[in-house]
Amino acid sequence: MLEQLISFLEEQLFLSSQSISFALARSSQSYTILPIVLLQYGFITLKELELIFDWLEGHNSFSGDFET
């Protein structure tokens, strides 16, 4: 799943591999925390964060994790 997410970030949001590597190093290689780290360091906007979460939800990576 992480490889697919990285491809999405590079191909759809045009993030550099350096930005992604930087964020991965700070997110303990967790694809669910990665988008938050990217936002925290200014690599993505809130709109892009929403797109990433939509993509993740569509790929069933954490669907149900936040349901009560």
Taking alpha carbons only, the member of 4, 67, 65, 9 closest to residue 35 is 9
The answer as to whether 65 is a domain residue is no
Output the pLDDT for position 59: 86
11-57 residue pLDDT tens: 999 999 999 999 999 988 677 789 999 999 999 999 999 999 999 99
Query: Is residue 63, in this structure, part of any structural domain at all?
Result: no
Residue 47 covered by a domain: yes
Q: How far is CA 24 from the centre of its chain?
A: 9
Where residue 5 falls among pLDDT bands split at 50, 70, 90?
very high
Q: Residue 68 domain-assigned? A: no
Looking at residue 34, its amino acid is L
Indicate the number of domains in the chain.
1
**Considering the domain boundaries, does residue 7 fall inside one?**
yes
In a domain, 66, yes or no: no
Largest CA distance in the chain: 36
Which domain, by its residues, includes 34? 2-58
The verdict on residue 51 lying in a domain is yes
